[in-house]
Amino acid sequence: MNLTEAVNRLLGPDPLQEREMPYGAKLKSEIPKQPPKKLWHVTLFASKIMSGGFKSRSMLGNTLAVLGGGSSDSVSFTDNREFAAMYANGLRASIASTHPSFDPWDLAAWGPLLKKYGFPSAPMSRVWEWKEIEKHKARGRWSIADASFELLQGYSMETRKFPLFMGGSWPDSILRAKLSDVAVLEISSDGPQWWDYHSGEKEFRIFDVENIGRAKKVG
């Protein structure tokens, strides 16, 4: 028995090697793009993450009250801090659009709200028409949160300057959130070893969530 074999026997099996990883997970060394030292995550519920650490959707019981459409066994991060800041401001604008003082049916109100969070003006009347907002309003089928979602989704497609929140249960998540709890969280990429990378979204998905270190609030 050589020294390496003796050390491995003493330490026991590597839990990462013994663990059955979800479909799509790869060792960090195998993903097409290596993560930088720092990565960023945008959340509606920063206080819970800061106190209890990151949790995947499956760790939370596969609840729909989360954002994002990635794997339920991973947590998503971006290597683009400007992209993260845009997502955080998008969440803030989304929450503000469901406040009782804001009327999403009032097209004139959208310009100041979007400008407040750094987004350009757009012809919301065109969004109103092609999303058939008037028809749904007349039928009374949409809640305020549903109307806000449809208008912001249309605005996103129109301008390409606003993030699309397609995954999870958007209205429920937004209605439960507080502006003060929206944040950009920064982590070190040193700890985790199981990853996937999606270039279109500039997104790194971490599967061994328990190895993510403590986050720092940066925005």
> What are the residue ranges spanned by the domains of the chain?
27-217
For the stretch 126-172, pLDDT in tens is 888 877 888 877 777 677 778 888 888 888 888 887 776 544 456 67
How high is the pLDDT of residue 7? 42
Rounded average pLDDT over 49-64 = 79
What is the overall mean pLDDT for the chain?
81
Report, in this order, helix, strand and coil percent for the chain, each rounded to 5: 40, 15, 45
Chain position carrying tokens 């099996």: 13
What is the reported pLDDT for 151?
A: 85
Nearest to 173 by CA among 50, 57, 100, 91: 91
Q: Is the dihedral of CA 60, 66, 71, 74 positive or negative?
A: negative
Contact 215, 185 (CB under 8 A): yes
Predicted confidence (pLDDT) at residue 112 exceeds the cutoff of 80: yes
| Predicted model pTM | 0.81
Report the alpha-carbon distance of residue 168 to residue 166 in Å, rounded: 7
Higher pLDDT, 142 or 112: 112
Per-residue confidence (pLDDT) for residue 32, from 0 to 100: 85
**What's at 148, amino acid-wise?**
S
Query: What's 41's DSSP letter?
Result: E
**More reliable by pLDDT, 63 or 54:** 54
Mean pLDDT, residues 23-29 taken together = 84
Q: What is the mean pLDDT of residues 6-26?
A: 57
CA distance 153 to 122: 13
